[in-house]
């Protein structure tokens, strides 16, 4: 056969290089066979050679399309190959794989768990239509020093009618009701509100109807909307509930509607809604601050626009009514209102857990780098056989991603378990805890975190080891270049970042622990040991007149004090001040009137005789109330130390008189008969403020907290104390029975949990960093065994070698500490709201924690360094 | 399979050609007039979808001619169904393609 030019076959050979390897030989054979067959036929037909060649060439160009069409299969093929290979590599080193997977599962799991909480509490919208437009409108009360105070009804009406920013406004306030009629009286939380509230929230009863504006009139207001839960509990889910009567605080109201499940406003325990029906006095009393206000922003209006608009109205009110000077307005988005307080803590925790994950990734990257050294020869061989760098990187990254995805799947399991734990230890008053679940967004987060960790810990080792030094690695017995300058530099960088990140975490945790410690040391001003507290709320027509209520508490306290095991008992309206205490301005006898804007409000509480003694609050001068203060005797008052020092500095306040309101108001003059020590009544974290206490007999209150000091653990007394209350009147519900210790623990529970979590994260970071340093030094030592052997054979002493190695490790540690200190200085500033009594740049914390880390780094590098220098130089020299 | 309903006109033509006995890629090109860049991807797609099957011809046959064995294609039962379905839409195909003459390549010695 004549030898022909065969450019078509060259073309096929060239195109075949693009065909996936799996198909290549078949593909090439098919095309070659066809072309050769056609060529021989053309020869038989004796076609001119040039024409034949052109025809064959034309046909063979189609092979390019054919090859292109096969391209997607190349990716598939490579991917499966990479995955198979990756899985094999992971199985080959089960120890390494296990450690890495555990680290990843814990890191990804913890991050995902914390993110679930962030997602449920901060990210999910509130369960109201237009939830992003609902705004709480507070009075900014400079006189009492709180920026979320209540409004008077006339002020609310002015804001409602004059504003330009809201579609609607509503007024409401929480209210507790005693439900009677069934076996035991029950205290149920609810609220009264204007009818517009339901439109603002966008909720409607599932059965019956909501109340209307017409029902906001005394006399027409005897209707109630109940929650799904109360409907089930109180009425057994009776579908004919509409029209039935409910006895609330002794008054019958007709049930007109049942809310769907999940609707609870304003608090998560609210179960009743009644119309706000004020009498004419309440409607006109501009000084009676008793209502919260809420509004629905018009679409497109921002909260700052609302603030400006409402501010103008507040300014107008201040000008119009001089006594309103010092009262501004403060709109807050409902979402911020609910979660604003917990947001900083959650974000700090999320950042902390992300740091732990980063440290974990750095550790795995280090392990991979160390392992890459042992794989150097394998990679060098593959490179020598023609594997391109991109292909090797893809292969190595596939391994990391495979590992991180398995870690992610395990991590979701860890997250679900961790979340259960976190929810169980979270304080029950944590807002929106019920919204915290593992949803689609959480799973997506876990996936994203897994993939990015895989890239993070896989990229540096992949880039590094995909570029082997062929000459070195392929040599028989080559020691590999893993310990080369480049490798050790990457490892050094990883350790520096690990140390820096753990320093930030440790300092953060240190600041939080110190804050908590400071809080624990705060002098409360009373003795919390063996104290039992419980709330009683009197309701019903029997106690409408004050003296009956006073008599009720006097009788109850006398009976309780007679109980065996009780040392003393007392009562006060509120042991701890609520956010909006009962308060008023006051005027001191014989002093010139203070301009309204400079007046301050003081909380007004009623206390029983023996209250201060029971609480262990010191009596600084004068006397406690003794029960002789009658309705008709001169009015008396006890003030606290802060008030005495502020208003009667250098004077004896005993015998001095003041009254609530202006000097010409019709409230009676009060004579100071005693001064008591300050008590932290607004919680641990706020400073003491001026306080006034009136005798219960002259200023009776329906709702009181009983405090009982026992001779021993007071909780067993609870049942007996309750018996005594019910012995006086069985219709009065008792709630919130707690020991003072528990009450105090509850007040700091959020802080304690934050501190605990931060401590766990920081501890893990320290451990991981220590493991990281140990790993790097120990690996470096194995690589340098030979060198060390040479040094020692040449006469270097153990101590010299040891100090050389340690110095190198310590340089890395100190660099990490330097970076970490700078980062901490920048980052701890974000924690300010989480700290108490500690500056975010607390010198003690910033000084001591780096020392701790240096110590840990020293030990972590000393152990492996020591081991090598103990080796016999002859053995070390032979070590390959 | 989705490909059954979305058999394109050229795919149907190629399938009909294979069914008519033009079993080699180049023969299909000759009889349909389609370029190799269309015929081969279409054959691969249909093979993946299970409409055609490919085999290698006998070694001996190829050796006689001093070339590697050729690959030939056959219509599978699923392919027959798909073709019948496609012919309802493209009625002219059956008439366009000739029924095979005795095969040249088989007769030469």
pLDDT in the model for residue A482: 43
Cβ atoms of A503 and A850 within 8 Å: the answer is: yes
Chain B residue numbers touching A66 (CB-CB < 8 A): 36-37, 40-41, 44
**Lowest mean pLDDT segment, chosen from A153-157, A771-775, A816-820:** A771-775
A70 touches B at CB < 8 Å: yes
The verdict on residue B48 lying in a domain is yes
pLDDT at A570: 94
Q: A737 Cβ partners below 8 Å, 6+ apart? A: A532, A533, A534, A718, A722
CA distance A818 to A332: 41
Q: For residue B14, give how far its alpha carbon lies from the nearest alpha carbon of chain A (Å).
A: 15
DSSP states along A647-673: HSTTS--TT-EEEES-TTSSSPPEEEE
Q: Cα torsion at A267, A272, A275, A276 (round to 10°)?
A: -40
pLDDT score for A473: 62
Q: What separation in angstroms does the CA of A162 have from each of A167, A287, A311?
A: 12, 19, 11
Tell me if chain A has a CB within 8 Å of the CB of B102: no
Instruction: Tell me which residue of A578, A590, A603 sits closest to A694, measured CA to CA.
Output: A603
Sequence-ordered list of residues with C-beta below 8 angstroms from that of A11, at least 6 positions apart, any chain: A57, A60, A61, A63
Position A483 confidence tier, pLDDT thresholds 50, 70, 90 = very low
Q: Taking all residues of chain A, what is their mean pLDDT, rounded to a whole number? A: 86
Closest Cβ opposite residue B37 in set A29, A65, A70: A65
For the segment A711-724, the average pLDDT, to the nearest whole number, is: 89
Q: What domain range is B74 assigned to? A: 2-94
CB < 8 Å from A in window 14-53 of B = 24-26, 29, 35-41, 44-45
Which residues of A are less than 8 Å from B41 in CB distance? 65-66, 69
**Does position A618 have pLDDT exceeding 90, yes or no?**
yes
CA distance A16 to A19: 5
Rounded to an integer, what distance in angstroms lies between the CA atom of residue A601 and that of residue A813?
A: 56
Residue A83 φ/ψ, nearest 5 degrees: -65, -45
A38 touches B at CB < 8 Å = yes
B-chain residues near A26 (CB < 8 A) = 71
Listed in order, strand segments (DSSP E) in A356-437 are none
Mean pLDDT of A469-498: 67
Q: Is A369 helix (H, G, I), strand (E, B) or coil?
A: helix
**A719 in reach of chain B (CB within 8 A):** no
pLDDT (0 to 100) of residue A441 = 92
Confidence of residue A693 (pLDDT cuts 50, 70, 90): very high
Q: Is A4 in CB contact (< 8 Å) with chain B?
A: no
In chain B, whose CA is at the least distance from the CA of A23?
B44
Residue B104: inside a domain: no
Which DSSP helix (H) or strand (E) runs through A860?
Answer: helix A843-869
Number of compact structural domains in chain B? 1
The two structure tokens encoding residue A609: 């005789």
Q: Is A65 on the interface with B (CB under 8 A)?
A: yes
Based on the number of CB atoms within 10 Å of its own CB, is A720 exposed (0-12), middle (13-18) or buried (19 or more)?
A: middle
B8 three-class SS: coil
How many other CB atoms are there within 10 angstroms of residue A14's CB atom?
A: 12
* Nearest CA-CA distance, residue A86 and chain B, Å: 28
Give the one of B36, B65, B104 whose C-beta lies nearest to A62's C-beta.
B36
Which token pair is A392? 């090797």
**How far is it, in rounded angstroms, from Cα A49 to Cα A440?**
68
Q: Which of A711, A723, A747 is nearest to A532 (CA)?
A: A711
| pLDDT tens for each residue of A168-215 | 999 998 888 888 776 677 888 889 899 999 999 998 999 999 999 999
Residues A236, A240: Cα–Cα separation, whole Å: 11
A502 neighbors A820 (Cβ within 8 angstroms)? yes
Quick one: how many helices (H) and strands (E) in chain B?
A: 8, 2
Number of neighbours of residue B7 by Cβ within 10 angstroms: 26
Residue A432 pLDDT class (50, 70, 90 cuts): confident
Residue B105 domain flag: no
Nearest to A37 among B40, B44, B105 (CB): B105
Looking at the predicted structure, is the pLDDT value of residue A697 above 50? yes
The beta strand positions in chain B, using DSSP E, are 52-56, 71-75
pLDDT at A413 over 70: yes
Q: Say how far apart CA A783 and CA A767 lie, in whole Å.
A: 24
Q: How far apart are CA B57 and CA B105, in angstroms?
A: 12
Instruction: Please tell me which residue of chain A has the smallest CA distance to B41.
Output: A66
- Cis status, amide bond into A52, omega within 30 of 0: no
What tokens does A151 get?
């409004």
Give the pLDDT confidence of A547-586 residue by residue, as tens digits: 888 889 999 999 999 999 999 999 999 888 766 678 888 8
Specify if B101 maps to a domain.
Answer: no
Distance CA A490, CA A104 (A): 21
Residues 6+ apart with CB under 8 A from A647: A588, A653, A690
Confidence of residue A442 (pLDDT cuts 50, 70, 90): very high
| B-chain residues near A38 (CB < 8 A) | 26
- The answer to whether residue A60 neighbours chain B at the CB level (below 8 Å) is yes
Beta bridge partners of A582: none
Residue B22 lies inside a defined structural domain of this protein: yes
Query: What are residue A36's DSSP bridge partners?
Result: none
Given a contact cutoff of 8 angstroms between Cβ atoms, the answer to whether A700 and A647 are in contact is no
For residue B103, the distance in angstroms to the closest alpha carbon of chain A comes to: 13
Q: Which of B32, B33, B41, B108 to mutate to test the interface with A (most CBs of A within 10 A)?
A: B41
Place of tokens 């290979």: A85
* Token duo for residue A459: 């990229």
Q: State the Cα–Cα distance between residues A575 and A606, nearest whole angstrom.
A: 10
A526 and A616 in contact (C-beta within 8 Å)? yes
* A78 Cα to chain B: minimum distance (Å): 19
pLDDT digits (tens, 9 = 90+) for A7-23: 888 889 888 888 887 78
Picking from B36, B49, B71 by the largest number of A CB atoms within 10 A of its own CB, the best residue to mutate is: B36
**A358-386 burial: b if 16+ Cβ within 10 Å, else e:** bbbbbbbbbbbbbbbbebbbebbebbeee
Over residues A51-77, mean pLDDT: 82
Domain-embedded: residue B31: yes
Please list every residue in chain A whose beta carbon sits closer than 8 Å to the beta carbon of residue B66. Answer: 1, 36, 40
The alpha carbon of B59 is separated from its chain's Cα centroid by a whole number of angstroms, namely 21
The kind and range of the H/E element at A735 are strand A734-739
d(CA A262, CA A492): 54
- Nearest neighbour of A34 by CB, restricted to B25, B35, B38: B25
Is A257 exposed, middle or buried, given 0-12, 13-18 or 19+ CB atoms closer than 10 A? buried
State whether residue B65 sits within 8 Å of chain A by CB. yes
Mean pLDDT, rounded, for A387-416: 88
Which residue, among A63, A78, A81, has the nearest Cα to A17 in the 3D structure? A63
Cβ separation A33–B70 shorter than 8 A: yes
Question: Is A63 in contact with B40 (Cβ distance < 8 A)?
Answer: yes
Dist. CA A269–CA A263, nearest whole Å: 10
Other CB atoms within 10 A of residue A391 CB:
15
State the smallest CA–CA distance between residue A34 and chain B in angstroms.
6
Give me the residues paired with residue A327 across strands. Answer: A141
In this predicted structure, what is the pLDDT of residue A2? 47
Domain membership flag for residue B108: no
Assess if residue B86 is contained within a domain.
yes
Residue the block writes with tokens 């999910």: A124
Provide the pLDDT confidence category of residue A297 given band limits of 50, 70 and 90. Answer: very high
How far apart, in whole angstroms, are the C-alpha atoms of residue A868 and residue A802?
A: 9
Closest CA to B32 of B101, B98, B81: B98
- Could you give the CA distance from residue B34 to residue B26 in angstroms, rounded to a whole number? 10
For residue A521, count CB atoms less than 10 angstroms from its CB and return exposed for 0-12, middle for 13-18, buried for 19 or more: exposed
Distance from the Cα of A377 to chain B's closest Cα (Å) equals 39
d(CA A171, CA A194): 6
CATH of the domain at B42: 1.10.10.10
Distance from CA of A37 to the nearest CA of B (A): 7
pLDDT at A334: 92
């Amino acid at each position: 056969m004549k030898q022909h030019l065969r450019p078509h076959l060259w073309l096929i050979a060239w195109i075949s290089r693009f065909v996936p390897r799996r198909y290549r030989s078949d593909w090439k054979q098919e095309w070659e066979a066809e072309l050769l067959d056609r060529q021989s036929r053309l020869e038989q037909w004796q076609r001119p050679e040039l024409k034949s060649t052109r025809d064959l060439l034309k046909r063979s160009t189609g092979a390019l399309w054919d090859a292109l069409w096969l391209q997607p299969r190349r990716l598939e093929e490579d991917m499966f190959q990479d995955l198979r290979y990756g899985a094999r590599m992971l199985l080959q080193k089960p120890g390494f794989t296990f450690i890495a997977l555990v680290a990843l599962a814990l890191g990804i799991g913890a991050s995902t768990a914390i993110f679930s909480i962030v997602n449920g509490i901060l990210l999910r919208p509130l369960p109201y239509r237009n939830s992003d437009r609902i705004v709480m409108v507070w009075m900014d009360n400079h006189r009492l020093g709180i920026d979320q105070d209540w409004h008077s009804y006339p002020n609310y009406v002015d804001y409602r009618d004059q504003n330009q920013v809201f579609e609607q406004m509503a007024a409401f306030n929480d209210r507790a009701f005693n439900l009677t009629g069934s076996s035991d009286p029950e205290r149920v939380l609810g609220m009264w509100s204007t009818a517009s509230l339901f439109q603002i929230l966008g909720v409607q009863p599932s059965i019956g109807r909501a109340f209307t504006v017409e029902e906001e009139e005394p006399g027409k207001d005897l209707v109630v909307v109940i929650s799904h839960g109360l409907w089930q509990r109180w009425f057994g889910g009776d579908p004919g509930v509409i029209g039935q009567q409910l006895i609330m605080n002794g008054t019958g109201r007709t049930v007109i509607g049942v809310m769907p499940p999940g609707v609870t406003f304003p608090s998560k325990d609210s179960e009743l809604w009644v119309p706000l029906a004020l009498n004419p006095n309440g409607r006109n009393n501009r000084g009676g601050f008793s209502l919260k206000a809420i509004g629905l922003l018009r679409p497109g209006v921002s909260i700052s626009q609302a603030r400006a608009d409402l501010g103008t109205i507040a300014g107008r009110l201040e000008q119009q009514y001089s006594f309103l000077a010092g009262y501004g307005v403060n709109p807050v988005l409902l979402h911020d209102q609910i979660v604003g307080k917990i947001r900083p803590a959650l974000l700090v925790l999320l950042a902390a857990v992300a740091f732990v994950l980063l440290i974990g990734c750095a550790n795995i990257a280090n392990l991979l780098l160390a392992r890459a050294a042992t794989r150097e020869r394998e990679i060098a061989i593959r490179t020598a056989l023609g594997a391109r760098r991109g292909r090797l990187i893809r292969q190595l990254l596939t391994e990391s991603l495979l590992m991180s995805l398995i870690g992610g799947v395990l991590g979701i399991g860890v997250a679900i378990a961790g979340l259960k734990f976190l929810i169980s230890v979270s304080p029950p008053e944590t807002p929106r805890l019920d919204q915290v679940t593992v949803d689609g967004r959480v799973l997506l987060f876990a996936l994203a975190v897994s993939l990015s960790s895989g890239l993070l810990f896989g990229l540096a080792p992949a880039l590094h080891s995909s570029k082997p030094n062929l000459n070195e690695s392929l040599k028989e017995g080559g020691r590999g270049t893993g310990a080369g300058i480049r490798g050790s530099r990457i490892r050094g960088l990883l350790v520096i970042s690990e140390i820096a990140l753990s320093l930030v975490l440790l300092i953060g945790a240190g600041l939080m622990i110190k804050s908590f410690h400071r809080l624990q040391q705060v002098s409360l001003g009373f003795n919390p040991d063996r104290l039992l507290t419980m709330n009683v709320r009197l309701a019903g027509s029997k106690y409408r007149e004050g003296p009956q209520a006073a008599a009720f508490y006097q009788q109850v306290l006398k009976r309780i004090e007679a109980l065996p095991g009780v040392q003393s008992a007392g009562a006060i309206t509120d042991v701890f001040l609520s956010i909006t205490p009962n308060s008023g301005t006051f005027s001191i006898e014989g002093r010139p009137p203070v301009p309204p804007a400079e007046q301050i409000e003081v909380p007004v509480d009623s206390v029983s005789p023996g209250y201060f003694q029971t609480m262990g609050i010191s009596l600084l001068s004068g006397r406690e109330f003794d029960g002789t203060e009658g309705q008709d005797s001169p009015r008396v008052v006890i003030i606290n130390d802060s008030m005495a020092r502020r208003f009667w500095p250098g004077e004896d306040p005993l015998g001095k008189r003041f009254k609530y309101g202006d000097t010409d108001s019709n409230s009676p003059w009060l004579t100071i008969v005693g001064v008591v020590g300050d008590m932290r009544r607004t919680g641990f974290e706020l400073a003491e403020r001026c306080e006034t206490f009136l005798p219960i007999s002259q200023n009776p209150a329906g709702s009181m907290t009983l405090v009982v000091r026992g001779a021993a653990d007071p909780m067993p007394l609870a049942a007996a104390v309750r018996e005594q209350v019910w012995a006086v009147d069985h219709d009065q519900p008792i709630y919130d029975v707690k020991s003072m210790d528990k009450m105090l623990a509850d007040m700091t529970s959020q802080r304690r949990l934050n501190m605990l979590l931060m401590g766990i994260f920081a501890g893990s970071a320290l451990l991981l960093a220590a493991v990281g340093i140990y790993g790097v030094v120990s690996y470096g030592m194995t690589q340098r065994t030979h060198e060390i052997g040479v040094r020692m054979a040449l006469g270097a002493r153990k101590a010299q070698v040891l100090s050389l190695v340690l110095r190198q490790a310590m340089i890395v540690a100190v660099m990490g500490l330097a970076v970490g200190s700078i980062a901490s200085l920048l980052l701890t500033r974000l924690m300010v709201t989480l700290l108490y009594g500690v500056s975010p740049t607390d010198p003690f914390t910033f000084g001591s924690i780096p020392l701790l880390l240096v110590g840990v780094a020293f030990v972590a590098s000393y152990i492996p360094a020591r081991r090598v220098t103990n080796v016999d130089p002859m053995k070390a020299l032979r070590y390959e | 399979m989705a490909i059954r309903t979305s058999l394109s006109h050229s795919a149907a033509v190629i399938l009909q050609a294979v069914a008519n006995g033009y079993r080699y890629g180049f023969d299909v090109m000759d009889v349909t007039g389609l370029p190799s860049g269309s015929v081969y991807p279409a054959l691969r797609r249909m093979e993946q979808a299970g409409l055609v099957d490919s085999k290698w011809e006998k070694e001996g046959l190829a050796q006689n001619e001093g070339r590697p064995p050729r690959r030939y294609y056959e219509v599978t039962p699923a392919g027959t169904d798909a073709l019948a379905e496609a012919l309802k839409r493209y009625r002219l195909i059956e008439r366009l393609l000739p029924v095979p003459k005795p095969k040249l390549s088989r007769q030469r010695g």
